Amino acid sequence: MLAYTNKLRLQWLRDSPWWPPPRFSVVVSTTVNVDGHVLAVSDNMFVHNNSKHGRRARRLDPSEATPCIKAISPSEGWTTGGATVIIIGDNFFDGLQVVFGTMLLITPHAIRVQTPPRHIPGVVEVTLSYKSKQFCKGAPGRFVYTVGGACFPLPPPTPLHGLLSASPPSCLNGAVL
């Protein structure tokens, strides 16, 4: 009788949507902690009876991508402000503002701004905002304000200014030349 019952159970399994039995194991957990080889990890999974088709991974809509700052060049300037700075990053869009100044959109990956004046030297965090929503708070850019004034191009080298070079605009000890 037991053999007949097992045969009926086996026939029922073969006729069921769960046949054939799986050849792999599935672990459902809130954390990834599995002994042995892990074939895949999914944070969003839909399982249907013997279905070979599941939900595809959710792709970020470009309009939902979060802007981030990757570099600021130059990364320092005078406390009097007015230095032109390029902010390089990802997912910039029209209307995005740099917190310490106004901006001109160059590409979706770079913003050109002029630094505002600051009363004391030191490091400031550079973040982005749009319609009162602030971005990059967790990983802001950094800009260093140094003591000094406006810079002008140095004069061409002459016997009088023999130690000075005709390099790009610069200042010596904050003195305007």
At 87-104, the pLDDT tens digits run: 998 888 888 888 876 566
Judged by DSSP in three states, 32 sits in coil
Cis omega (within 30 of 0) on the bond before 17?
no
| Ranges 75-84, 145-154, 159-168, most confident | 75-84
What per-residue confidence (pLDDT) applies to 34?
Answer: 57
Please report the sign of the dihedral spanned by the C-alpha atoms of residue 39, residue 43, residue 44, residue 50.
positive
- Fold of the domain spanning 65-146: Immunoglobulin-like (2.60.40)
124 and 75 Cβ atoms separated by less than 8 Å: no
For the entire predicted model, the pTM comes to 0.46
User: Binning pLDDT at 50, 70 and 90, where does residue 19 land?
Assistant: low
112 and 84 Cβ atoms separated by less than 8 Å: yes
Candidates 167, 152, 151, 168; CA nearest to 81 is: 151
Instruction: Name the more confident of 7 and 146.
Output: 146
Residue type, 69: I
What per-residue confidence (pLDDT) applies to 137?
Answer: 83
What residue spans define the domains of the chain? 65-146
- How far apart, in whole angstroms, are the C-alpha atoms of residue 168 and residue 166? 7
